[in-house]
Every structure is written in C-alpha cells, then in structure tokens.
Structure 1
C-alpha cells in the first residue's frame, strides 16, 4: 500500500487480514485491526495471541504489551505494570544531581532536594541517610535508636569487614573513646580514654578494669592487680577440668587459703613438672611417694627447724596428753643444745641428751656423766669395764675400780 489509505466510511474500520507494508502515512479515524504484522522499513508491530510486540529491524523486541496490561521495555515477559530492563530517565523539569524521587499527595513522582520535606532518603555515594528524624531502620519501619537493625533469621545481623588485619568499630562520647574489633588478627576491646572499662550482666557491673590496669571482680574500685570481692565474704576461684577426676577448687575465703578437691581423685602438688606431695582421698599425705600408707608418709630425709626460736618439737597426741620430741638451741636457760623427750601430761623432761658431751640424762636435764639417772634403776646385770676388764657389781657397798 503506497500513499495515503483512508477508510471508505468516515469513522469506520480498516481491516488488514494479511501482512501489509506501508511506505507513506496511514490515517485511521476508527480502529485498525491486524491479523498479522504491520511493517515499516525499520520497524514492525506484531500482534500475537497474548501480546503486542514492537520490534526494531535487525535488533528485536523493544516494547511488549501483554494482554493483562503489563508493559515491558527491554523484556518480552514483564511481570509488573512497568518492567524496564536497562537504565531509564525520568524528567519533570525539576530534576538535578543529588536529588531524590518522591511522590506527592496525588501519587505523582517528583524530584526533591535531600533537605526537602517531601523525602526521607538520599543516596550520596554509598551512604544512606534519614534526613527527617535522624533514624535509620534496616529490617524495621520503626527504628528506635539512630541505627536499628532487625533480623528474623539466625546468623550474623551486622557484618563489618576490612581487607587488612585490623578493623574496628569506634564508639565515642565526650568522655570516652571505645574500640571494638580486630587488631593484628586478634580480637580487640579497648578504652582509649583515661577511664575505666566495665563488663556487666543483668544490668550490673561484674568486672572492672581501671585505667591503671587493676582488675576487679565484684568491685568497681580494685586496689590490686586482681581484686575479688563477694558480698557474702566468700570470694571463690574455682579451677576444674571436666574431663578428669583430678580437678581441684582453689578458694580464697577471707584470710583463709584452702585448696579443695571435691572429686574422688587425689590432690597432688608438683614442681618442675614432677609430683612432690600427694593427698589421697582417704586423707593420707605422702611426700616423696605417690602411695602413702599413713597419715604422713615421708620417703627421704626430714628436717625440723623453727627459725630463730629455741625449740623445735614433734608432738605426739593421745587422749591423755601429748609427748614432745625435739631439740633446743643455746639461750633457753634450762636446756642448752639438747635433744629431749618431754611429757606434757606431767610437765617433765623424761630424757635429755647433751650435744656437747653426749651425756644422757633420765629424770634430769643436767647429766654430769655418760648416763645420769635421777631415780632407781632396775637391771638384771650392770657391766662396768676399765681398760677392757669387766667389774661386776653385786652388793650396794661395793667399791668400783678406779
């Protein structure tokens, strides 16, 4: 069809049942019914069963209208009222760099500057700002703090990532400068100000690190490198290995220091990675042995000393009193450099041995001979020798050899 084609009846239809090629103009006062495609030199309109497609010659579909009303630009399967694949440009005469697109009361799209009352958001580089109330909500439409992130899925809610070995979040007030994050590939919490660092639970401070480095548990004013306080006067430190029956509890209780083992295993002490002392579950103490058979079982030498005191004793207790076995140093008056056995029940020295002479005293603390007995002696035989020759004593008035 060349030239101008008019319908033969004013306002009537023009019906083309096949393909038509138009080299000029087509004026239709009614409607144009196509049963195939309407072709132009560089364009064609293709009427299909469920859509109308406008094609550019040698390129393909440019505009698609589905029979449901969805319009696609750059796509033949629009899934919304207007579906654009590619960039689009919207001008209303007020557009400009840095403006945001909002809608007025009638739903018309208008461009507004970021500080305008009609819009909440602006994109400035990669930052997002709420310019009305100053609050940003991610996952929520009612943010409480300035930045409110809400997530309904388990896992990380906020992720801060740095391509180097150090990345921190800085929280600052006029009096405090806090950093949280990673420093040199290590977890990092630091108060950069000259103030304390506090850690708490249930709304209460549980641990305080002062600006001087003192650590307080249960107290906000520690007075030492580690200061532990409990309101019930029982501050405990418990060290336990759940995989072993040899776990032990270490307790600080006022001025008392005790070591407890609540399990069935023994409690042992070691130095240089070698066991030195053991307490069995039955209470036997072994020094130098791992299998003590008595309340105190010492395998090796034992030395008693009492500092600058004059006496060093071992007490043997019984229901009727105690016995003391010990030594004394010079300056004790009654005893001087002696070994003794003392009876607490009667308050008497039963036996003494002088260091300087080796004299033994029974019933006396000042023996003047090798054996001095203050009391009677009962014996089957007493042998006295001089130069290897014995002299037997049988009578009370017998004169000893001289």
Structure 2
C-alpha cells in the first residue's frame, strides 16, 4: 500500500517498498524532495531544530534554480560533523569535486581535534611512503617525481623541509629551535645559517664593525719587510693571517678575513710608497752623478785636444 498525503497543495508519498517522496509523488531516490524547478523558490530541507529550521540541518538556499547562481546545499550545525569510517578507514574517503574546498573562517585540523592555527597538522608517526615524521607531503609517493615534505623530526627535535626524490635521497632545510639556527643539507646547523655545499649569489653584503683604516694612522707600527720575511720563514704564512691548517679546521669569517686582507694591502701600499720615495732619492743621486761624470768627460776631452 502506498500512502499519499496531501498538505498545503503538496503531495507526499510513503510506500512500504521503493522510494519515498516529500513534496513529490514521483520520487527518483530512496528519499526525494520536491523538484527544484517546481516554482517554490524558498529554502527547504532537513532540520532537527524546529524553532529555526535553517539554523541546524541540511537545506538548500532560497532562490530560483537558474544560471549562473544556482542554490547551495548548506550544512549548518553548532558542534560539528564527525566522519568516522571505523575499521574501513583505508577504503573510505571524502572526495570534494567541482570548485574544491573553501573554509571562510575557523581553523583546519588534521590529526588533531584542537587545531591551534588556520592549518594545523599533527602527525608524529611515520606515514607509509613519506619521509620520517612527514606532516605535509606535496608530490608523488609511488613514482620518481620530485616531492616536497614538511616535517618535524621528533627524535632530533627540529623542523625540516625536505625536497626528496623517489630514490630516498633528499636535501633538507633544517630549522633547529635550539638557538634558531637554519641548516641546508645538514641536520646539525652550528650557526644561524649552515650550508653543506656551495652557495651561489649575485651579491653578498657583510657588515663589519672593524675596518683597517688604522693602518694609516701616524702611530701605527708598520712591520718591516725584514720582520715579515722572518715570520714567513718561521711560520709559512703572513703575520695575522691564519694558516692553511687553521682554515681547514675552523674555516674563516668572511668579514674578518676581508678586513685582514685589506690590512695587508694597506701595509703593502705603505711599503710601496716608502720604496718609491727611496727609489726617487736613488734616481736623483744617480742623475747628479751622471751630470758630474759628463762634466768630467768634457774636461778630459778638452785636455786631450790641446
């Protein structure tokens, strides 16, 4: 027996088997509502809150079903929606098609019921096919394409951004919370920025508080060339410049080394200026001796002629 109930010029049908219709006598699904193009443009749907039916439930918005602004299907609630697939979580997905997913307010949490920011991912355990402790993975996991992983390494207590290939090798950017150091290609940055490899830049600016203009001060003790020669013979490098062994073990401070090199250039310039003065004096003496020699040759020639 099929029950057909007419109320307010609408017809409902509740058959014991088959499809049930609310606002329609021709339901096309197990539960069907009146057609969108039936001339009733007001909002309607399912509610669990009679005083304000559009505040809590599932309904379509009001308006005619015409292009380009079709009505929306809205889910309105106070406490939230829980999707729990149970033991079949490996085969259960929420597939959002069309224009995608949009969240206009509030926070999104993945792996947490209390998201603390606009997008909060909590994933301490390793995800199959992803780098250890991966929290955000962009790219393929089953093909050799490049992929990008944002993770927090719980064992080493640092955050890392990994650019990883399918082969398993990766180059990571490490953010160490202990001191705020950043490492590229190394997971143990000992400085604000530590790079394991080469750096290529169009321009590098190094700020230095010490610059060797003091070399030109009148009271500066300029080392003599003899002293420099002795130091080179004993140490094998210039005074004030680290040895090859020291550089290999400790590296160099770029700003400090530039200052040291400039100091040596300025010292060399002073030595060149002094040597130029000495050379000019020698040339002046030689010129004087040359004139005297010419006068003497002239006198000798005159005596020989007589």
**TM-score over 0.5 (shorter chain):** no
Higher relative contact order (CA 8 A, sep 6+): 2
Give TM-score, length-normalised by structure 2: 0.33
Give TM-score, length-normalised by structure 1: 0.26
